[in-house]
Amino acid sequence: MSRKFSPQAVFFDLDGTLVDSVPDLAEAARRMLAELGEAPRTDAEVASFVGKGIPVLVERLLTVGRGPVPEDRLAQGLASFLKHYDDTNGLLTTAYPGVLEALPLLLARGLKMGVVTNKAEAFVAPLLEKLGLLAFMDVIVGGDTLAQKKPDPEPLWHACTQVGVAREAALMVGDSGNDALCARRAGLPVLLMTYGYNEGVAVDTEDCDGLLSSLVELPPLLTNT
């Protein structure tokens, strides 16, 4: 990648970008589906359902390939999933290779950093803390922090405001078309990780400013030193 960036802040998606959380999500899904008397899902199916927040994940778990379900069944599934994910969050999730190496390098450059995710906010800080990532983050914007969630641009704009950085001085790093669309709508450049979750769509087909195979590839692309 030849393009360089000069951000004052870098905002990261969480699932599929900083951390591989499918094992914990899949375990919560198995417990939820068993509790509701539904057939199980594979880890690969769960991975393809991730990206638009827990309510959408639960809806997909219950309906994709199985037909519609009534609203009260969705509500029952959501309550069950949240209960089980509270127990499984952080048990098997790991930071991707390169993340723990790259974040100190970005911090040393004086960059503000934050997580902008569609995961419910209550699950984000505990997970980051368990993985040793929380101390690097100046702001967390979850899927229920605001009335809007990605791909609406407001979560990114809110993150900029919280860290005191102009919108044009921020960079988004994600793993999906949802992240790319959010950044485009917000007017931010966006880089996508090649290893994450993109709902079964090849990430190199998305409208972004570049692809990264490891987060350690990011610091050399930044010129604000």
Does 175 show up as a binding residue in the annotation? yes
∠ Cα 94 98 100 (to 5°): 65
User: For the chain, where are the alpha helices, taking DSSP H only?
Assistant: 22-35, 43-49, 54-63, 71-88, 99-108, 121-130, 154-163, 177-186
**DSSP assignments along 161-189, one per residue:** HHHT--GGGEEEEESSHHHHHHHHHHT--
Dist. CA 41–CA 49, nearest whole Å? 11
Residues tagged active-site: 13
Does 204 show up as a binding residue in the annotation? no
Residue 122 CB coordination number (10 Å): 13
Does 20 show up as a binding residue in the annotation? no
Annotated binding site for Mg(2+): 13, 15, 175
Annotated binding site: 13, 15, 175
